[in-house]
């Protein structure tokens, strides 16, 4: 009764005595081997097809030609470290400040605004420390890796 769960074993047990010998078992093994070989060939064909085609990029992760990693249509691409200097005015800075506030890293008295300020630098330094950066790496000036981790939504 233990073999009822497997249809092939059950059919072997229920088959007439003349068909239950080792030859029958070998024939079933041949069937299983043929099925495995067929599956293996189709897997090899799929791999060969995939390797022959250009790589596909999932939406929202960016690509080789797009700056900033996750810069698809959802996230703001990394504008470069030179962008973050005193006096820079951009809605990107406001979006960044909102994300920092959402991540509980804000050091703003009033709230984030479009002009890069010392409060933005302090807030971003908190974010960098939250990511595990220390010392000069947590200086508050965004780098590509920490910017991509923040996932600032696209503003344009």
| CATH for 135 | 1.10.101
Whether the CB-CB separation of 142 and 81 falls below 8 Å is answered with: yes
Residue with tokens 């939250």, as numbered in its chain: 130
pLDDT digits (tens, 9 = 90+) for 69-97: 444 468 999 999 899 998 899 999 999 99
32, pLDDT greater than 90: no
pLDDT reported for residue 51: 76
Distance CA(109)–CA(107), nearest Å, equals: 7
Could you tell me which residues are beta bridge partners of residue 102? none
Are 33 and 87 contained in the same domain?
no
Residues 6+ apart with CB under 8 A from 64: 57
Residue 108 domain-assigned? Answer: yes
Are 46 and 91 contained in the same domain?
no
Residue 103 belongs to domain spanning: 81-150
| Number of domains into which the chain is organized | 2
Question: Taking the C-alpha atoms of 72, 74, 80 and 81 in order, what is their torsion angle to the nearest 10 degrees?
Answer: -140
Tokens standing for residue 116: 């890069």
Residue 103 domain-assigned? Answer: yes
Residue 11 domain-assigned? Answer: yes
Are 88 and 40 contained in the same domain?
no
Assessment of whether the complete model's pTM goes beyond 0.95: no
pLDDT digits (tens, 9 = 90+) for 112-139: 999 999 999 999 999 999 999 999 989 9
């Amino acid at each position: 009764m233990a073999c009822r769960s497997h249809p092939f074993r059950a059919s072997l047990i229920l088959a007439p005595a003349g068909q239950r010998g080792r030859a029958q078992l070998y024939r079933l093994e041949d069937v299983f081997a043929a099925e495995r070989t067929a599956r293996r060939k189709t897997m090899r064909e799929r791999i060969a097809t995939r390797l022959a085609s250009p790589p596909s990029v999932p939406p929202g992760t960016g690509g080789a030609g797009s700056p900033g990693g996750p810069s698809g249509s959802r996230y703001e691409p990394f504008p470069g470290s030179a962008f973050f200097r005193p006096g820079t005015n951009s809605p990107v800075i406001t979006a960044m400040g909102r994300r920092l506030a959402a991540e509980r890293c804000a050091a703003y008295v009033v709230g984030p605004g479009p002009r890069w300020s010392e409060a933005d630098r302090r807030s971003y330094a908190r974010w960098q420390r939250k990511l595990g950066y220390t010392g000069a790496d947590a200086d508050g000036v965004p780098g590509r890796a920490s910017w991509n981790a923040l996932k600032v939504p696209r503003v344009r």
